[in-house]
């Protein structure tokens, strides 16, 4: 089934560790250009970079990519995308994929997968991805967000803790998972309907999301479903540090 969807790429200039991150050059091009190429390879109907910075707006426009100036006071990329949907006048059932501006190695197939996961059901207005954890140490790593699903593939809970907690296996000295139930790592890519985004922007932040420092828990807190599609593996990490930049540079130079 061919799924129609749009991609919005939130891109901020400010970054504590890498100021001007979207415009940093990788393999001769700004990072944001590589991210847009991944969206083009996924066959998105429309690609828009959402930014609050004139430098990013100009750079993206010069590349022949559509950019939209948004407010500077958004607390999240989700809110920024909702503003783009309003400014563009998109219909409530339009599917929008939120593609992070620092993910130049994201597989284009995953962009299509998350859009298809949302389009293929009626219960949720949002879909995301997860992959099976193969390294037991990752289960106990708080930087790896875990998700537990119900029988139908919808999220029960997200946590930095090792969930599900296998009481018998984990309480043994050096205990390893039994394999009875796969542990899943959440991949932070989302597809939403415009109607869902409009509802989301009306909700207050929840205590639960502040405790875990996981924004997606706001959705469960307010009683909405999240569809989760399981993909083959966790994609390569995005760019947060200078070391990440060098790692991605090597990968992209090898691939071109």
pLDDT at residue 19 in the model: 82
Rounded Cα–Cα distance for residues 233 and 107 (Å): 10
Alpha carbon 85 to its chain's center: 17
Task: Name the least confident of 114-128, 156-170, 186-200.
Answer: 156-170
Closest CA relative to residue 34, chosen from 25, 16, 129, 15: 25
For residues 223-243, average pLDDT: 91
**Residue 178 confidence class, pLDDT cut points 50, 70, 90:** low
Residue 117 exposure: Cα atoms within 13 Å on the Cβ side? 27
pLDDT digits (tens, 9 = 90+) for 114-152: 999 999 899 999 999 999 998 888 999 999 999 999 999
Tell me what percent of the chain is helix, strand and coil, each rounded to the nearest 5: 35, 20, 45
How high is the mean pLDDT of the chain? 90
Q: Which CATH number fits domain 1-106+239-255: 3.30.300.30, 3.40.1190.10, 3.90.550.10, 3.10.20.70?
A: 3.90.550.10
pLDDT digits (tens, 9 = 90+) for 71-102: 888 878 888 899 999 999 999 999 999 998 88
Which of the two residues, 170 and 130, has the higher pLDDT score? 130
Rounded Cα–Cα distance for residues 84 and 10 (Å): 10
Rounded Cα–Cα distance for residues 90 and 2 (Å): 20
For residues 48-70, average pLDDT: 93
pLDDT at residue 173 in the model: 54
Say if CB 155 and CB 188 are below 8 A apart: no
Q: Is residue 242 predicted with pLDDT exceeding 90?
A: no
pLDDT at residue 176 in the model: 66
Q: Is residue 243 predicted with pLDDT exceeding 70?
A: yes
Write down the H helix ranges in 44-91. Answer: 54-62, 77-88
Rounded Cα–Cα distance for residues 86 and 75 (Å): 17
Helix-helix angle 31-41:108-119, to 10 degrees: 50
How many Cβ atoms are within 10 Å of 228's Cβ, its own excluded?
26
Residue carrying structure tokens 């197939």: 109
pLDDT at residue 95 in the model: 98
Residue carrying structure tokens 């919005």: 8
pLDDT at residue 146 in the model: 96
Q: ω before 147 within 30° of 0 (cis)?
A: no
Which of the two residues, 210 and 75, has the higher pLDDT score? 210
pLDDT at residue 12 in the model: 85
**Residue 244 confidence class, pLDDT cut points 50, 70, 90:** confident
Range(s) within the chain of domains with CATH label 3.90.550.10: 1-106+239-255, 126-235
User: The domain at 126-235 falls in which architecture?
Assistant: Alpha-Beta Complex (3.90)
Which of the two residues, 16 and 12, has the higher pLDDT score? 12
């Amino acid at each position: 089934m061919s799924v129609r969807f749009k991609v919005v790429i939130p891109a901020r200039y400010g970054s504590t560790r890498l100021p001007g991150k979207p415009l940093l050059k990788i393999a001769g091009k700004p990072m944001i250009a590589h991210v847009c190429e991944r969206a083009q390879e996924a066959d998105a109907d429309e690609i828009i970079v959402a930014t609050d910075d004139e430098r990013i707006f100009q750079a993206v426009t010069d590349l022949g990519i559509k950019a939209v100036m948004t407010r500077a006071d958004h607390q999240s990329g989700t809110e920024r995308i909702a503003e783009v949907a309003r400014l563009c006048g998109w219909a409530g059932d339009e599917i929008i994929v939120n593609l992070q501006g620092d993910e130049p190695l994201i597989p284009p197939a995953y962009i299509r997968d998350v859009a298809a996961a949302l389009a293929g059901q009626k219960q949720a207005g949002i879909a995301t991805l997860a992959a099976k954890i193969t390294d037991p140490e990752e289960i106990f790593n708080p930087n790896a967000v875990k998700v537990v699903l119900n029988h139908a593939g919808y999220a029960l809970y997200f946590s930095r803790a090792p969930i599900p907690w296998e009481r018998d296996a984990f309480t043994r000295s050096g205990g390893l998972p039994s394999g009875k139930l796969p542990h899943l790592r959440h991949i932070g890519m989302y597809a939403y309907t415009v109607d869902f985004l409009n509802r989301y922007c009306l909700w207050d932040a929840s205590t639960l999301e502040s405790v875990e420092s996981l924004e997606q828990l706001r959705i469960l807190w307010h009683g909405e479903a999240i569809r989760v599609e399981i993909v083959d593996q966790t994609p390569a990490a995005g760019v947060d540090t200078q070391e990440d930049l060098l790692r991605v540079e090597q990968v992209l130079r090898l691939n071109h």
